[in-house]
Amino acid sequence: MKHKDILEPEISLLLETVYQKYHYDFRQYSEAHIRRRIMNRMAMSGLEDVSQMRSKILNDETFASRLLQDLSITVTEMFRDPGFYRSLRENVIPVLKTYPFIKIWHAGCSTGEEAYSMSIILQEEGLYDRTTIYATDFNQQALNKAKEGIFSNELMKEYTINYQLSGGKESFSGYYTSNYNNVIMNQSLKKNIVWANHNLVTDGVFAEVHLILCRNVLIYFERDLQNKVQALFYNSLINGGILCLGSKEGLRFTDLYEEYVELDKKQRIFKKKY
């Protein structure tokens, strides 16, 4: 079924319906991202127009849950962008080693692959036992999968290559156990991770932390919302704390650009000034 173009007011009304009914706020997400996801869900559900979708959102919680999953961002992998993790080892770990106790916030952790990647690095660098990782997302289904730490066996070849390219020091297969078509991450990697539901759009400061990682999430937000979330990160970091963003994200056009120094321009790693 071919759909006519969705008008911007239709998108606004749909997102307002989602917010009023379910209290999830996508109203300042990138319109292009939202439009793609809505069009895809309409096609998969055989809906003819946005008004039909609004009706289903109001009256069908199962459908609404599927749409919420569509609108959230769950693209992730272990040691995603190996060059970033190599820089993390070289530029961030030495800073973390100066603290007696370390708090790390993975904001928008999705299904947990990057939080487990951090656990592995911290173990190899001798820092894990004095670290707490707060891994947060507003998508409860993604968080539940993250807590389980069960991933497809098919992904492990790619993840192993990522790990090796990132400067991994051990055999990657030692960090998980294979079970038929899946692998389960070692329990030792989970023990210092606190999984929590937190919405960057609507919730406040999460904790006072030494390091924040939020990679390839802000690109889905409009400029005003990006500034709001950047203020949240700034207020959550200790003085001298470190912020890691995605490869297509930065601080240059935000309100807080002058409040950081760049540790790695290419990998988007910034240190909060004292």
pLDDT tens digits, 173-194: 999 999 889 999 999 999 999 9
| Domain boundaries defined on the chain | 8-71, 82-272
Which architecture characterizes domain 82-272 according to CATH? Answer: 3-Layer(aba) Sandwich (3.40)
Residues of the chain with pLDDT under 50: 1-3
The amino acid at 107: A
pLDDT of residue 1: 41
DSSP 196-264: EE--TTT------EEEEEE-SSGGGB-HHHHHHHHHHHHHHEEEEEEEEE-TT--STTSTTGGGEEEEE
* Residue-averaged pLDDT of the chain: 90
